[in-house]
Structure 1
């Protein structure tokens, strides 16, 4: 079944060229089924690239999914035109009365700022609390995961001696969990972050699912609320880390090449995507679990039986 995205969204051409079935609003209206409602709070500066990466994974499910693109209200984007945002995105204020089966909160380019100094932090607090009542299950990514761990669990983050940057082999700690069905024992996962989470601050209500002894925790499950925290970037395409590296080099930064990305370490060779299958597995597992557990009546999401 296809994914429904905003009409005329540029990502549609990319998705269709990759074999992802895309449906417009008029066709979706003729479908006599209850599609899953998935929201994507996109905090990244390159909105089009990020929405394409997540839509690619969410749209690979055999279920019909309506994807709503969401942005914070209290922030003016420097990299995406207001016309584009008004055409394809809803502000959180516009969706706050809605219910969603699933909701994804992305990373944001504010990793070196204290949470409370982020301009839209007060709105983020409202959004994170809102997910507990209006969303059946939430996946927090990268900075979004750090923010949610800080807010919900008081988890402490700290700056690592050097940036974790590249594609790193990880280990499964909770292979029996439904979120990791089909995962190999040591998946390769893209990483791009300066901060790690202090393990001693995680508490008993969090379970580590994917880990790396050298660069830190990768993915956790919340035991008291329906949420996953993914600190790294399975959604990345093959060029994401390479483009970040080239951007740093052009800016005169002394950034080493991403670890394990370029074949034989040759930065002139196009990188291979060695994590794509695990990215699809994670999102298929997530959507499948949502489908099996979410109420048929959207208005019942968040209610306690």
Structure 2
């Protein structure tokens, strides 16, 4: 929550120059604090549907202990669902028509299951465009996660993602490149982010689109966090700061089972910078006995998840909470008291944050 400059104390101006959000007294008196309504467009496949809900709900809830949030999950009707997942959606999710009628202050768009390299051929393409275009006109800010970032970069800015030679998979160190932007002003200057993707939109593409790059990998080879040119109306993640500590372990386990089923030619590599020496030793032992059992036709050893799960480290969630907390704080400063209007009347929608 911001500080109110209720007198001419020089410290207020000094903090403003550092990028800290300081409200003048007139603006503070006109600001009406209410609950925030945040939409979650969950496009993940059935197996990850509920886990994705938990990850983003947790990220929102951890970001601010004072504010009150109504999180409204919805999905795209065109996505195929199994019986259990559809029953869950029917019982707990809202429809896009309901979302559009009632309005949102903020929107989060998840990734999705993709078949083939071309995003524009995916069944979710046109419905996703409809949601994103509506949100840009009617929602204060939209946060895109990984594949959603790739989709918006293509259909809004004409920047297609590129296939990588190898999957970017693991936990990677990043650096803040714009320390005075309100989303990054008070977070760690270096921090980790999980990634799990075969494709990338490169820094040059973000620059060509006129976007603001806020966080990159230390060698500047990868953008993790960027915003639309106005600084807030669209926020792009290429990584997965919402991931739980065990998320990469679950992905690795699925890869191992694909190897067992013959769908992979070799035992999968470890996610980079994720397993410590102890966990690697356990997994190397498991790999040895698994391959031996597969070759001899013996019973397969159990995947050693329980042996290592308590040793896994999480080096990203505190900064993820800080970034999302800043995002939500900015939405509070900008959004209209009426839920179906994106900005307060005096806000310049082309530059809501007054950035240079």
- Give 1:4's aligned residue: none
Distance verdict in 2 for CA 1:173–1:116, change over 3 Å: same
Which has the higher mean CA deviation after the structures are superposed, 54-63 or 177-186?
177-186
Q: Does 1:233 align with 2:240?
A: yes
Q: Does 1:249 align with 2:256?
A: yes
* SS of equivalent residue, structure 1 residue 277: helix
1:47 and 1:182 mapped to 2: Cα distance?
32
TM-score, normalising length: structure 2: 0.72
* SS of equivalent residue, structure 1 residue 146: helix
Q: Does 1:197 align with 2:201?
A: yes
- Give 1:9's aligned residue: none
TM-score, normalising length: structure 1: 0.84
- Give 2:353's aligned residue: none
1:302 and 1:113 mapped to 2: Cα distance?
37
- Give 2:34's aligned residue: 34
Q: Comparing both structures, which one devotes a greater share of its residues to helix? A: 2
- Give 2:10's aligned residue: none
Distance verdict in 2 for CA 1:109–1:214, change over 3 Å: farther
- Give 1:53's aligned residue: 55
Consecutive unaligned residues in structure 2, runs of 5 or more:
1-32, 284-303, 347-356
Distance verdict in 2 for CA 1:214–1:34, change over 3 Å: closer
Q: Please provide the CA RMSD for this pair.
A: 2.1
Distance verdict in 2 for CA 1:299–1:95, change over 3 Å: closer
* SS of equivalent residue, structure 1 residue 42: strand
2:317 and 2:127 mapped to 1: Cα distance?
33
Consecutive unaligned residues in structure 1, runs of 5 or more:
1-32
Trace 1:86-235 onto structure 2 (pairs within 5 A).
86-110=90-114, 112-202=116-206, 203=208, 205-212=210-217, 213=219, 216-224=222-230, 226-235=233-242
* SS of equivalent residue, structure 2 residue 112: coil
Trace 1:61-100 onto structure 2 (pairs within 5 A).
61=64, 62-78=66-82, 80-100=84-104
Q: Is residue 211–residue 219 contact of structure 1 (8 Å, CA) maintained in 2?
A: yes
Q: Is residue 336–residue 345 contact of structure 2 (8 Å, CA) maintained in 1?
A: no
1:170 and 1:70 mapped to 2: Cα distance?
31
Q: Is residue 211–residue 217 contact of structure 1 (8 Å, CA) maintained in 2?
A: yes
1:289 and 1:237 mapped to 2: Cα distance?
25
Q: 1:192-230, CA deviations, whole angstroms, 9 ceiling, x for partnerless residues?
A: 011111433332520111112375211111114711000
1:198 and 1:280 mapped to 2: Cα distance?
25
Q: Is residue 206–residue 222 contact of structure 1 (8 Å, CA) maintained in 2?
A: yes
Q: 1:83-122, CA deviations, whole angstroms, 9 ceiling, x for partnerless residues?
A: 1111111232332223211100011121743112111211
Q: Is residue 334–residue 343 contact of structure 2 (8 Å, CA) maintained in 1?
A: no
Tell me the CA shift for residue 301 of structure 1.
2.0
2:220 and 2:180 mapped to 1: Cα distance?
23
1:181 and 1:302 mapped to 2: Cα distance?
22
Q: Is residue 146–residue 157 contact of structure 1 (8 Å, CA) maintained in 2?
A: yes
Bigger radius of gyration, 1 or 2?
A: 2
Q: Is residue 336–residue 344 contact of structure 2 (8 Å, CA) maintained in 1?
A: no
Tell me the CA shift for residue 80 of structure 1.
4.8
Aligned length: 274
Distance verdict in 2 for CA 1:289–1:238, change over 3 Å: same
